[in-house]
Amino acid sequence: MAMRVMLVDDEPFILQGLARLIDWEKEGCRIVKMAADGQEAFDYLAEGEVDLIVTDIRMPRMNGIELLEAIRREKNTDAYVVILSGYSDFKYAQAAIRYEVMEYLLKPVQKEQLLTIVRKVADNRAVSRQEELDTKRMQRGYLLQNLSALLQGRTEEQRLAYVREHFRCPDGMRYLHICLNDLAALEEMTDEEVAGLKDAVYDCAAVYLQEDADHLLGEFFVYEEEYEIGFLYCDYMAVERNMNEGTFMRAFHQALQRGSENVPVILLLGKRVEDIAKISHSYSSACVLRSFKGFQDRQSIYYYEKEVQVGEAKPILCARSLDALVEAVDKGDAIAINKSVDALFTEMDQLDRTKETVATNINWLIFRLLGLATKQDESVSQDEVLSYISGNVSKEEIIRGSRAHLRKFAGEYAEYLAQLKKNVSGGILQEVESEIRERYAQNLTLRELGQKYYINSSYLGQIFRKRYGQSFKSYLNTYRINEAAIQLVRTDKKIGEIAEDVGYHDLDYFISRFIEQEGCTPSRYRKQAREGQE
């Protein structure tokens, strides 16, 4: 952005001379105002923004010192001020210094003098902007750390007080997952393409939300979900737009979808809570929706309250057929699986196979299959198992009569269970560790590693979390940031180069990740580390 300059002098020929003395445009400046006296200049500041003021002292109505005094008193601009005068009287210099003038120059001003000042202002602005940006990033990072803790149920009073002070969160709110909902299409994209798609959706959300855009949590996730953006919705957002919640969500969804023309966007709305102290309940219920969305009729917006409610009518459970199918899956018997699926469909056909009946039976099947997984290993994450199931079964297909779809899923799940029964974690995890050390800067994914080592990626994610106490992606990001920290201290590379070296192609994302882990920006980390070595 060009530096905005205002020139102030009651002599027109001096104004014109200042305007032509240097090539302002070449210096990255734009003259936004040429004022004939201090009052005209002061009036302009009521609406116009200025970065540098070059003003004469002796002028009618309001002289330069009075202008400077008025600016400091009213605090209507933080522009740098340069005083010009044909008088060398010391009292003017004293007054100028008292009101924090940047420079005091005698007329006639020399070109080199003015150029030096303009470049000094430009340098100061750059430093100030970077410091301001760093401060905002650190404040945002600290806020996100506290919000992350609240989402996980850690509601210490100090955290709550900080969030309430720095985040608009009155009574009544929900946590939302904004999801890109075409896994097959997303996995064909590069990291940069996925990041670009998420950024486009995020930008559309920010435009729609305007001053509430800080409620978007695109910079972090409690559980690393690379195709999601978090959002804390508050009741006031709809009220202030003269909408009810449903109307707000539909309009919000339409705005989001404009950022992702080829990949559908869905909203998963956790249950409504009254206070930020209970936001973890809303977050966990949104995670439940994430796991179960594959078993519900395809929608754009899912409400927890609607999806988990039990209707008055109770469709009949095909218990015998379900028991036989679960047993066949547990044994890994492909022939028995196919027979049991046929029996289940036959029994549901006899019940007219309504949506409600199918939903009841499939949800019961999922519950039973989840039990099979946890029976093999109590440490298996139910969320991860449900995520695996939801990515491989579609109730919509089953309702349309796709026995083949259920057979395929049941067969794949039988293989998944077989892997759980094997003690494969030790050797595989050593190989994965080696892959991270050697290829951390590349686009490493569990899916790729699972294919390479012939293990289900969902199970690989579970045993990884069990061993290291964090997700594969969290571990990979931590490793990358640690490598970046080493380079910051040991090399003179630019921060952008280091980000690329360790696998981050988006500098802002790298800086956000660095702040989240190290508590400061990369530049500050480098400065502090080197000062400590002296």
Q: What is the pLDDT of residues 486-534, one digit of tens each?
A: 999 999 999 999 999 999 988 888 888 898 888 889 998 998 888 876 5
Q: Is the pLDDT of residue 311 over 50?
A: no
Does residue 177 carry a pLDDT above 60? Answer: yes
Instruction: Identify the pLDDT of residue 310.
Output: 41
In what helix (H) or strand (E) does residue 534 lie, and over which residues does it extend?
A: none
Residue 506 Cα to chain centre, angstroms: 13
Task: Enter the tokens of residue 396.
Answer: 């919509």
Position 142 scores a pLDDT of 85
Of the pLDDT bands very low, low, confident and very high (cuts 50, 70, 90), residue 394 is low
DSSP labels, 268-312: EEPPPBSSGGGHHHHHHHHHHHHHHGGGS---SEEEHHHHHPPPS
Structure tokens at 526: 């480098």
Q: Residue 483 pLDDT more than 80?
A: yes
Do residues 290 and 181 make contact, with C-beta atoms less than 8 angstroms apart? Answer: no
Beta bridge partners of 177: 230, 268
Per-residue pLDDT tens digits for 115-163: 999 999 999 888 888 888 888 888 888 888 888 889 888 889 999 999 9
**Sequence-distant (≥ 6) Cβ neighbours of residue 159 within 8 angstroms:** 146, 149, 150
**More reliable by pLDDT, 227 or 154:** 154
The per-residue pLDDT for 145 is 84
Please determine, for residue 295, whether its predicted confidence score (pLDDT) is greater than 60: no
- 246-270 average pLDDT score: 93
CB burial of 85-114 (b: ≥16 within 10 Å; e: otherwise) equals beeeeeebbebbeebebbbbeeeebeeeeb
Give the lowest-confidence range in 228-237, 339-348, 373-382, 410-419: 373-382
Whether the predicted model's global pTM rises above the 0.75 cut: no
| Alpha-carbon span 7 to 15, nearest angstrom | 7
Cis, bond preceding 108 (omega within 30 deg of 0): yes
Nearest Cα neighbor of 362 from 418, 404, 406 is 406
Q: CA–CA separation, 290 vs 139, rounded Å?
A: 30
Mean pLDDT, residues 192-210: 89
pLDDT of 89 strictly over 70: no
Instruction: Give the pair of three-digit tokens for residue 182.
Output: 């075409």
Residue with structure tokens 């030096």?
116
R_g (Cα) of the chain, nearest Å: 31
Instruction: Assess contact for 361 and 374: CB atoms under 8 A.
Output: no
